[in-house]
Structure 1
Amino acid sequence: MITNIYFVRHANSSYTPDELNRPLSENGVKDAQRVTELLSHENISKVISSPYKRAIQTVEGVSNHFGLSISIDEGFRERKLAEGAVTNFDEVILKYWENFDFCIHGGETAYDAQHRGVESLKNVLNRYCGENIVIGTHGNIMVIIMNYYDKKYNYVFWKDLNMPDIYKLIFKDNNLVGVEHIWS
């Protein structure tokens, strides 16, 4: 049986130090409307999101369009890089991708984040087998999960993501059989 997962990387947000409650920017709100347009013909049966406001807001239109509530799943939250702010983000993120065991104090290794995200995805695949599911998430955790299934989803792939972005992962009996880029 085919199950389609539509990973939606959140739209652009207005920066605040409050990661959990950072809202979409004005452009992000417009892009979230485009996400709804692109997914409005996909017969979505379930909408799940990271608990972060920007991820929820990006898929809110899809849930409204299909008359669905949004279920929150901590497994799809962004990976924590460190306890506090990271000043040299590009350098740190590259280290995380080069060594999946690398971790700054208070952060989460890529392996730990991948395990968390893949476990959540496997639960979704088992619970909603044969359905079309939208998952509002973040670029790093999305690509780390995709990397579990195919190593070509790596740092370079992550760097080239759009914000927002949509990838349709096609599973047959919990095996990834295809990936389509939906955002245009």
Structure 2
Amino acid sequence: MYTNIYFVRHAHSTYTPDELNRPLSVKGFKDVNLVTKLLQNKQIDVVYASPYRRAIQTVQGIADYIGKEITYEERFKERKLAEKPVADFETGIKQVWENPNFCLKGGESNIAAQGRGVEALIHLLEEQQSKNIVVGTHGNIMVLMMNYFDKTYGLEFWKELQMPDIYQLSFDGTTLLAIKRIWNEHP
């Protein structure tokens, strides 16, 4: 039996500089209903999420549907690009993707962020074998984890993500078998 990870990139949020408590926008809350509907027929066993409010809010519907509490996992939080907002975000994000060891002042390199995300993912795969697991997370850290297993997932892929977005990663043990986008399956 395979383990399926359903990475759920959070829905649209209302921007505030407070990363931890940034809430979903009105549009984001509407999209939570679609996220829940898409995951209802996937026989979800457990729900994990970044401790960031927007990630939690995005997967709360499926957690309620299966009657389970969300387990918060610090290592699934978004990568920290820099200690302060970056004047030119596009240039900053391009720099860290072009050189995986590079980091802006006070930020995380791709290698560091990927390492913590993959560590948490491997732990889940070992602890929750043969289960269907939802992980509420963020675009950059999600793509970094996918990139660890398949290098075709990188900066250009990240740029095409939607808010929300859902990808199913199927594993045999800790070996990735397939990645499938399921956000596009909504009616």
TM-score normalised to the size of structure 2?
0.97
Distance in structure 2 (CA, Å) of the matches to 1:55 and 1:126: 23
Distance in structure 1 (CA, Å) of the matches to 2:122 and 2:58: 23
Q: CA deviation at 1:17?
A: 1.1
| Pairing 1:2-151 to 2, within 5 Å after superposition | 2-151=2-151
Distance in structure 2 (CA, Å) of the matches to 1:16 and 1:42: 33
Q: CA deviation at 1:173?
A: 1.7
Residue by residue, what CA displacement relative to the aligned partner does 1:92-150 show, whole Å, maximum 9, x if unpaired?
Answer: 00111111011111100100000000000000000000000000000000000000000
Letter in 2 for 1:128: Q
Give unpaired runs (5+ residues) of structure 2.
none
Instruction: State the aligned residue count.
Output: 184
Distance in structure 1 (CA, Å) of the matches to 2:33 and 2:89: 29
Give unpaired runs (5+ residues) of structure 1.
none
Residue by residue, what CA displacement relative to the aligned partner does 1:132-175 show, whole Å, maximum 9, x if unpaired?
Answer: 00000000000000000000000010000111000000001210
Q: CA deviation at 1:75?
A: 0.9
Residue by residue, what CA displacement relative to the aligned partner does 1:12-34 show, whole Å, maximum 9, x if unpaired?
Answer: 00011111000000000011110
Letter in 2 for 1:173: G
TM-score normalised to the size of structure 1?
0.99
Distance in structure 1 (CA, Å) of the matches to 2:35 and 2:83: 32
Letter in 1 for 2:62: V
SS at match of 2:183: coil
